[in-house]
Amino acid sequence: MEYEVAKIQEYGYKDHTKIKKFWNVFSKIIVALTICLLYISIVIIFIQSINSSSNASEFEHFTLKWYFSITSNRALFNSLINTFVISISATLISTFLGTLIAVGIFSLSKKHQKLLLLLNNIPLLNADIVTGIGLMLVFSLLIKIFPYFFGWKTLLLAHMYFTLPYVILSVLPKIKELDKNMFDAAIDLGVRPYKSLFLVIIPAIKAGIFSGLILAFTMSFDDFVISYYTTGNGFDTLSIWIYSSIGRKSLSPSVYAFSTLFTICSMCAILLMNLRGRKENKHAKKK
C-alpha cells in the first residue's frame, strides 16, 4: 500500500525567501541613503573648504588658503571669539549651578521634585523663537536702568537660561544612582557638609556632570534663534554672522574651513572617549 508524502505547503507554509532577499537589499539601500543624507552636508562643506573659488557653484582647483585665512578675516574671527567666550562661560556657569541645583532637587520630597522638574522642563519644551522673544522683552525692561545692557551680558544670561536645564537633567539621574547614606557617612566621618559635597558626591557623579557640560556647550555653540533676539548691536556670534552674510560678498569660504576643522576635532574627541570607555570596561572585567 503506497502512502502519499504530504507537502509542507499543505500545512500552510509559504516560502518567503524572495521577500527576505528583497527586504535585505531594500534595508541596505535605506541605510545607505540615510547615511548620505546625514553626512552629505559635511562632505559639501569640506569640498568648499578646499575650493580655490569663492563661488560655491564652481570648483577651480585644490587649495588650503581658506584654512590659513580664518584669523585674517576680522569679522569672522571676532564672531568666533565671541562664540567661544559666550559658550564656554555659559557652559561653565550652567554646569556649576546645574550640579548644585540637581543636588538640591534630589534632597527635596517627591512632590517638590516633580514641581521643580516641571519648571525645569519648560525652557526645553518651549519653542526657541518664543524663548528668544520672551527674553528680549524681559531684557528690554532693564534698558532704562542699564542703557548698554544688550550685548554680551544679555547673550550670556540667555545662554545660561536654556543650557541650565540640560545640565540638571544630565546630573540628576546620576545622583539617584548613589547610595542615599553616602552623604551622611561622610559627615559622620568628620567631613564638613560643603566638603563632603565637593569631595564625595561630585566625584561620584562626574560622568553626569561631564555629559551635561558637553551637551550644554553643544547647545550654546550652535544656537541662533535665541542669540539673534538677545544680542546687542555689533556683538555677533558665528551663527548670527553667517546669517547676516548669506547672499553677500562678506561670506568668506573661511567659515567652511573652520566648520571642517571643528567637525574633525569633534570626531576625534568622540573616538578618544569611546576608546577610553572600552579600556575602562576591559580593566573592570579583568578585576
What's residue 158's pLDDT? 92
CA angle, corner 73, sides to 69 and 77, nearest 5? 100
Give me the average pLDDT of each 10-residue run along the chain (287 residues): 56 68 86 88 87 78 85 87 93 92 84 86 86 89 81 90 91 82 70 75 84 89 89 85 76 86 86 77 66
For position 285, what pLDDT does the model report?
A: 67
For residue 14, the model assigns a pLDDT of 64
What's residue 16's pLDDT?
Answer: 66
pLDDT of residue 5: 58
pLDDT at 90: 93
**pTM for the predicted model, two decimal places:** 0.79
* Cα→Cα distances 173→34, 162, 244, Å: 32, 19, 40
pLDDT tens figures, 76-111: 889 999 999 999 999 999 999 999 898 888 888 888
